[in-house]
Amino acid sequence: MLRELVTALLMIVMVVFTSPTGEMADNPVVKINQPSLSQGQTLIVKIENAASRPEGTFLDQSLKFSKYQNGWLVFFGISYWTEPGEYPINIKFVNGTEISQTINITKGNFKESYLTVTEEQQKIVQPTEADQEIIQRKEADNELIAQAYSQSEPVPLWSEPFIRPVEGHVTTGYGFTRYVNGKVNNRHSGLDIANAAGTPIYAVNNGIVRLAENLLVTGNTTIIDHGGGVFSSYAHQSELLVQAGDVVQKGQLIGKMGSTGFSTGSHLHWVMRIGSAYLNPDYFVGRDLIHDAEIVIP
């Protein structure tokens, strides 16, 4: 019964977002959230009074606009690998109008994180040619992850601000350069929040579960699609309480904290992602994103 009710509510949300509120004019107004963003934040572009889908580019990538009320909407994640500097955003409309704006991207001021693990644990994240079983397992897991992130509803499924998924203290921040046994491994793609095993984990907003599997590196992992290309991920859980295809509500219990996969203690590795960019989860807390874009590009 709950699932049917949630599905009906989400259908209403989608109708609101995709149904025109009147005859759309060819006098487009382009709004953004900020002209200056740091690595790990999100550029939001909202277009009003445009009858046809616009075309846009930013950071040499196409902007994939979705219909939103009497216009269009897109979320674009700023990767922690993006070099600081000024970058143009260009938007073109079918009536010939072209609008450009420079977006300034600043450093995220990321710190460093050091882990000391056993040789067997190190093989999981830094396998050699001799570790073919691990390599093959990781490749299979990566295919599952890629498939999950390729499925996003065209419109946002949320209408309220995002929340934190769990209680606890942050042990490793977003974007930290991660060293494993003295070797650079990668940047830290999310937040590590520690607490006792079994601590409840909640969905950060409405969405659809795209993956709920035990993976080699991230252990028991859930990926939720929030629509509009926005995803959240929850790793190292002791128990998965949802499955792929489930419709979930903001604040719904989806799992319990644990230490599965590549982990040195009970914690949640919480990720927020748009496109291929891993973003700062703290940036989302308390924001609904949709109503952030109110600065008009002249």
For 238-249, how does the pLDDT look when each residue is reduced to its tens digit (9 = 90+)? 999 999 999 999
Question: Residue 36 corresponds to which amino acid?
Answer: S
The percent of residues in the chain predicted with pLDDT above 70, rounded, is 91
Homologous superfamily of the 112-284 domain (CATH): Glucose Permease (Domain IIA) (2.70.70.10)
- Domain coordinates in residue numbering, the chain: 2-108+288-296, 112-284
Q: What is the DSSP string of 186-197?
A: EE--SEEEE--T
Rounded Cα distance, 250 and 202, in Å: 7
Q: What does the pLDDT average to over 58-75?
A: 92
- Class in CATH terms, 2-108+288-296: mainly beta
Q: Do residues 257 and 199 make contact, with C-beta atoms less than 8 angstroms apart?
A: yes
For 159-212, how does the pLDDT look when each residue is reduced to its tens digit (9 = 90+)? 999 999 999 999 999 999 888 888 777 889 999 999 999 999 999 999 999 999
pLDDT at 4: 55
For 6-23, how does the pLDDT look when each residue is reduced to its tens digit (9 = 90+)? 455 455 444 444 444 333
pLDDT at 21: 39
3-class SS at 96? coil
pLDDT at 17: 46
Q: What does the pLDDT average to over 259-270?
A: 96
